C-alpha cells in the first residue's frame, strides 16, 4: 500500500508505518461513543465555593508562587484568523457592491469601535488614497474589507489571532491578543523572582512574526509590570499530523499521487505539553482575553483554580508517601477511598471486592496521575464541550470534558442527560504534570486513544475523511485526575468572529 516515496515522507515527519495502519483502522471502524452517567452540576461533580473558601485557596496559591515553584502559562495560538472573517469574505465574493446583511451593516456602522480602525484607515490611505470615511461615502465598501483582510493591507485574514489588535485603551494605546496574555500572565503567574513564563504554540509560518512582536513589546511590559518575561514558542509536531482517507477508507492521495496529511487538531498539543518542565501549567485559548478593566475576575479565579490544585496535590502526595511507607492504617485507607469518591469523584463498583493488596495498588494507580482543575461556566448558549461524569475503559466512573460528538445523541437517555447540562467548558485549566517524587509524567500514557473524531473535508474537488486526535482537554486528558469548579461568565470572553470584538467585554 505504501510506496518508497510514502515511506520517505513518513520518516521525514517522524511517523511510524504502524501509526498509518492504526489510523486507517480508525477510519474503517470509527470511534465508540462514551457512556455518560450524568451531566455534572453544582454539588454533583462541580465545586461551588464560598467567599471564605475562595480566599483561603487564593492565599494558598500566592504562598506557593512565592516559594519559587515553576509556573508557566501555556497558550495554544496556532492557526490563522481567517474564520473570524467568514461574513466579510462572503461579502467580498458577493456580486453586489453594497452591504446588505445584518453583519455587514453592523461592521460598517460600528467600524470606528474596532481597535484596528486607525491602522485600517492608514492602510486605506496608503493603498487607495482615501480614508475609510471617503471610501464609504463613495460606496467602495469592498476596498475597505480588502485592505483589512488581504496582504496588500493589514493581512488580518492571514495572520494568527494572537497578532490581531483586540482592544483600544486610548488614542495612543491598543493591544493585540498576544499582548493581553503578557499582561494577564504578570497578574497571576509572576513568581517571587519576578519571572513570568509564557509559552505559545504557533504555526511555523507565523513564528518569526511572534518573535518580532516579542522583541518590540517586551521592554514595555517588563517595565509596566516589574517583571522578567521568559517567552517561548514551538509548533505542533509533524509527527502528530494524521493521514487523510478517501471515502473507501484508503489513503487519500493528491493529484501527484502523494499521501495527504492534515493537522491532528488541538489534541496534538499534548505532545507540546509533555515537553514542558513546570510544576503548574495554566492553559487558556489565545482569543479568550479581556482588557485591563475587566481582568480582575480572570485573575481571581485563575488563582482560585491554582490554589485548589495546590491543595489537592498536597493531599495526594501525602497519601502516596503513606502508601510507599507501608505504614498505613485502616482509617487512612478509608480516608483515601473517601477522597477518591468525594473530591476526585472517582467511583468503582469493584473496589469493595478487592483484597487489601489489590486495593492499595488500585488507590495508588488512581492517585498517581496528572491533575487538572477545570473552570466551568454556566451555560448561556456559547458553543463548546461540557462537564460530565462518564464511564472509563477500565469500568470506573470519573469527571470528563466531552464534546457532543462523543455522546450518542441518537439514544434518548443520552440526549436527555446531555440536554440537562448546566455548564460548559471555556478551556480554563490549571494542571500539575509532575508526580509525588518530582518526576514528570509521560502524558501520552493518559490518553484515551478511542476518543478521536472523524470529519469530512475536501481537497482538489474530492471529498476526504479527516482524523482529529483526542482533544487536548477531552480524550488527551481522559485519564487525568479532574476537578470541575464553577467560575463566572466574566472570566470567559472569547473572540470567534470579528463581531465579538464589539461586545461590551471587549470595548472597555
Can you tell me the distance from the alpha carbon of 426 to that of 408, in angstroms, rounded to the nearest whole number?
A: 22
User: Contact 370/446 with Cβ under 8 angstroms?
Assistant: yes
Same domain, 284 and 426: yes
Cβ neighbours of 287 (radius 10 Å): 24
In a domain, 31, yes or no: no
CB atoms within 10 A of CB 420: 10
Contacts of 182 (CB under 8 A, 6+ apart): 196, 198, 217, 218, 221, 229, 231
Residues 200 and 242 in one domain: yes
Question: Would 241 be classed as within a structural domain?
Answer: yes
Report helix, strand or coil for 447: coil
CB 199 within 8 A of CB 73: yes
CA separation, residue 319 to residues 325, 333, 441 (Å): 10, 9, 18
- To which residue does cell 497578532 refer? 163
Residue 14 belongs to a domain: no
Check residue 81 and give its pLDDT. Answer: 84
| 190 and 208 share one domain | yes
Range 62-78 average pLDDT: 92
Tell me if 228 sits within 8 A of 211, measured CB to CB: no
The 10s digit of each residue's pLDDT in 251-268 is 999 999 999 999 998 999
The verdict on 215 and 133 lying in the same domain is no
Torsion, Cα 307 311 314 318, to 10 degrees, reads 180
Residue 211 lies in a domain: yes
Query: In this model, does residue 79 exceed pLDDT 80?
Result: no
CA-CA distance, 388 to 27, in Å (whole number)? 26
pLDDT of residue 260: 94
| Number of domains comprising the chain | 2
Residue pair 425/374 in contact by the 8 Å Cβ criterion? yes
Provide the residue range defining the domain that includes 106: 86-159
Domain boundary pick from 159, 193, 209? 159
Task: List, for residues 135-191, the tens digit of each pLDDT value.
Answer: 999 999 999 999 999 999 999 999 999 999 999 998 889 999 999 999 999 999 999
Distance of CA 452 to the CA centre of its chain: 16
Polymer length in residues for the chain: 508
pLDDT in tens, 427-440: 999 999 999 999 99
Same domain, yes or no: 101 and 139: yes
Same domain for 171 and 137: no
Residue ranges of the alpha helices (H) in 384-434? 412-419
Q: What is the average pLDDT across 30-57?
A: 94
- Over its C-alpha atoms, the chain yields an Rg (Å, rounded) of 25
In a domain, 476, yes or no: yes
Specify the pLDDT at position 460. 84
Residue 405: predicted pLDDT: 87
Percent of the chain topping pLDDT 90:
89
478, 480, 486, 489 alpha-carbon torsion, rounded to 10°: -60
Q: Which residues contact 51 (CB under 8 A, 6 or more apart)?
A: none
Does the residue 298 lie in any domain? yes
Amino acid at each position: 500500500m505504501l510506496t518508497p516515496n510514502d515511506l520517505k515522507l513518513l520518516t521525514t515527519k517522524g511517523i511510524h508505518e504502524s501509526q498509518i495502519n492504526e489510523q486507517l483502522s480508525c477510519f474503517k471502524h470509527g470511534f465508540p461513543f462514551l457512556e455518560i452517567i450524568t451531566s455534572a452540576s453544582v454539588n454533583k461533580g462541580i465545586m461551588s465555593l464560598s467567599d471564605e473558601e475562595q480566599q483561603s485557596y487564593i492565599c494558598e496559591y500566592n504562598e506557593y508562587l512565592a516559594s519559587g515553584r515553576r509556573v508557566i502559562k501555556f497558550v495554544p495560538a496556532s492557526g490563522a484568523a481567517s474564520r473570524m472573517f467568514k461574513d466579510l469574505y462572503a461579502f467580498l465574493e458577493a456580486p453586489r457592491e453594497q452591504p446588505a446583511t445584518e453583519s455587514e451593516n453592523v461592521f460598517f456602522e460600528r467600524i470606528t469601535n474596532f481597535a484596528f480602525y486607525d491602522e485600517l484607515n492608514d492602510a486605506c490611505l496608503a493603498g487607495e488614497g482615501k480614508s475609510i470615511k471617503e471610501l464609504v461615502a463613495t460606496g467602495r465598501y469592498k476596498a475597505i474589507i480588502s485592505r483589512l483582510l488581504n496582504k496588500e493591507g493589514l493581512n488580518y485574514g492571514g495572520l494568527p489571532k494572537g497578532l490581531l489588535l483586540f482592544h483600544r485603551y486610548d488614542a495612543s494605546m491598543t493591544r493585540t491578543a498576544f499582548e493581553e496574555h503578557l499582561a494577564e500572565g504578570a497578574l497571576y503567574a509572576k513568581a517571587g523572582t519576578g519571572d513570568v513564563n509564557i509559552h505559545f504554540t504557533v504555526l511555523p509560518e507565523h513564528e518569526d512574526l511572534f518573535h518580532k512582536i516579542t522583541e518590540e513589546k517586551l521592554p514595555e511590559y517588563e517595565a509596566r509590570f516589574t517583571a522578567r518575561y521568559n517567552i517561548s514558542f514551538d509548533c505542533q509536531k509533524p509527527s502528530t499530523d494524521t493521514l487523510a482517507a478517501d471515502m473507501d477508507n484508503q489513503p487519500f492521495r493528491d493529484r501527484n499521487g502523494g499521501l495527504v496529511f492534515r493537522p491532528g487538531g488541538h489534541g496534538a498539543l499534548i505532545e507540546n505539553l509533555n515537553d514542558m518542565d513546570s510544576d503548574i501549567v495554566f492553559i487558556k485559548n489565545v482569543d479568550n482575553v479581556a482588557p485591563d478593566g475587566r481582568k480582575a475576575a480572570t485573575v481571581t479565579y485563575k488563582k482560585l483554580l491554582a490554589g485548589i490544585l495546590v491543595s489537592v496535590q498536597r493531599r495526594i502526595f501525602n497519601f502516596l508517601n503513606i502508601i510507599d511507607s507501608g505504614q498505613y492504617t485502616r482509617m487512612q485507607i478509608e480516608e483515601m477511598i473517601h477522597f477518591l469518591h468525594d473530591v476526585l469523584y472517582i467511583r468503582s463498583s469493584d473496589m469493595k471486592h478487592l483484597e487489601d493488596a489489590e486495593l492499595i495498588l488500585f488507590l495508588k494507580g488512581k492517585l498517581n496521575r496528572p491533575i487538572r482543575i477545570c473552570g466551568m461556566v454556566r451555560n448561556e448558549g456559547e458553543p463548546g464541550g461540557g462537564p460530565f461524569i462518564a464511564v472509563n475503559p477500565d469500568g470506573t466512573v470519573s469527571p470528563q470534558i466531552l464534546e457532543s460528538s462523543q455522546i450518542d445523541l441518537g439514544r434518548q437517555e443520552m440526549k436527555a442527560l446531555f440536554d440537562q447540562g448546566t455548564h460548559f467548558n471555556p478551556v480554563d485549566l490549571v494542571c500539575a504534570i509532575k508526580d509525588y517524587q518530582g518526576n514528570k509524567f509521560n502524558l501520552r500514557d493518559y490518553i484515551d486513544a478511542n476518543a478521536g473524531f472523524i470529519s469530512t473535508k475536501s481537497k482538489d474537488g474530492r471529498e476526504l475523511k479527516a482524523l482529529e486526535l483526542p482533544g487536548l482537554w477531552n480524550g488527551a486528558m481522559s485519564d487525568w485526575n479532574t476537578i470541575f469548579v464553577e467560575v463566572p461568565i466574566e472570566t470567559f470572553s472569547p473572540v470567534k468572529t470579528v463581531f465579538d470584538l464589539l461586545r461590551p467585554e471587549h470595548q472597555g
